Homo-oligomer: A and B are copies of this chain.
Amino acid sequence: MIIIIKPNTEKARVTEFITDLEKTPGLQTHLVEGLHTTIIGLVGDTSKVDIDQLRTNDIVEEVKRVQEPYKNANRKFHPDDTIVDIGGIKIGGGHFQVISGPCSVECEEQICEIATRVRESGSTMLRGGAFKPRTSPYAFQGLKAEGIDLLLEAKKKTGLPIVSEVMDASHLPLFENVDVIQVGARNMQNFELLKELGHIRKPILLKRGLANTIEEMLMSAEYIMAGGNSNVILCERGIRTFETATRNTFDVSAIPVLKRLSHLPVVADPSHAGGINWLVEPLALAAVAAGADGLMIEVHNNPAKALSDGKQSLTPDEFDGVMKKIKALLAVDGRVIG
């Protein structure tokens, strides 16, 4: 950690500050005095140092962090890829998976038909929303507990593990038989929820918030991991920018950056990123080419009648076409789905 001292600070005050800093066990300081600038290098275990508090000292101009503020999620301390195991289906460390299904679970016929179709095309997990975060209180809010039951029905018929979003810690008991619990973009910094998810052992799919940096995303993973649950899958799904031609801006760079900084598996959601069905294919392929460990794609048997997000859903036939291209792309690196 680098502490830059304000110009013209009295020497005695700097000495006093250094004495204070060295009181913390395990911390050492190094003083660097330049012509216009005095700098204190703080070394040792700085993970517990409160950077904001240092900044409030009136002789401090700025504090710059040298080490990342996350530990459990940091590849420096865990060089090997984490492989998350979902009932035998592995993701990360070379294992690639495709999660697909409707935005919302609507009825048994819908979810079961879609599940059957996506499995035929090679999807290895089924997604479906039971609790739906909607901008408008007047929009369809999901089937809730009934939606989870219908997903379990579809799982029974197809064997596909299921992924569904939790919106509040109090609903967690309903998710007992859900294979992967999704944290949506709007809840990426719902820290109370993250803490609860640290106390269970189920795999968590953590979506990036619309305005959250890559570092903040890793700090949210750290919340879950600090509680003891290391089964975290990161999901890039687009960020909010000034561009209005697409619903969000798909930050494809986040995939290689996350994989360099962290050992956790990284998947991409091209459906939410673009918000338009004809963008799903190029974005899915871009994510694969950039090194993603998996994809999450919305599929609906009748998009024009979907109760949510129909605009970005593929039909099962369209999905089948995209899957063929994904498989061809994976094959270039000798990869396969599964």
Binding site for B on A (CB under 8 A): 2, 4, 7, 28, 30, 32-37, 39, 41, 43-45, 47-48, 50, 52-53, 55-58, 62, 64, 66-67, 69, 76, 131, 133-140, 167-170, 186-187, 189-195, 209-211, 213-216, 219, 222-223, 226-227, 239-246, 249-257, 260, 273-274, 278-279, 282-283, 285-291, 303-311, 313, 328-329, 331-332
CA distance A4 to B7 in the complex (A): 23
Report whether B136 and A189 are in contact in the complex, using a CB–CB cutoff of 8 Å.
Answer: no
Q: Which B residue's beta carbon lies closest to that of A41?
A: B32
User: Given A138-B226, A253-B274, A41–B44 Cβ distance below 8 Å?
Assistant: no
Report whether A246 and B240 are in contact in the complex, using a CB–CB cutoff of 8 Å.
Answer: no
Per DSSP, chain A at the interface is mixed
Report whether A67 and B36 are in contact in the complex, using a CB–CB cutoff of 8 Å.
Answer: yes
CA distance A287 to B2 in the complex (A): 35
Most chain B beta-carbon neighbours within 10 Å: one of A213, A249, A273:
A249
Most chain B beta-carbon neighbours within 10 Å: one of A64, A210, A211, A246:
A211
Can you list 19 pairs linking A and B with CB atoms under 8 Å apart? A4-B66, A30-B32, A35-B43, A36-B76, A52-B309, A53-B307, A56-B303, A56-B313, A133-B191, A134-B191, A137-B219, A239-B243, A243-B254, A245-B257, A249-B253, A255-B282, A286-B289, A329-B332, A332-B332
Report whether B39 and A34 are in contact in the complex, using a CB–CB cutoff of 8 Å.
Answer: no
Minimum Cβ distance to chain B for residue A242 (Å): 5
Q: Which B residue's beta carbon lies closest to that of A308?
A: B52
Report whether A304 and B253 are in contact in the complex, using a CB–CB cutoff of 8 Å.
Answer: no
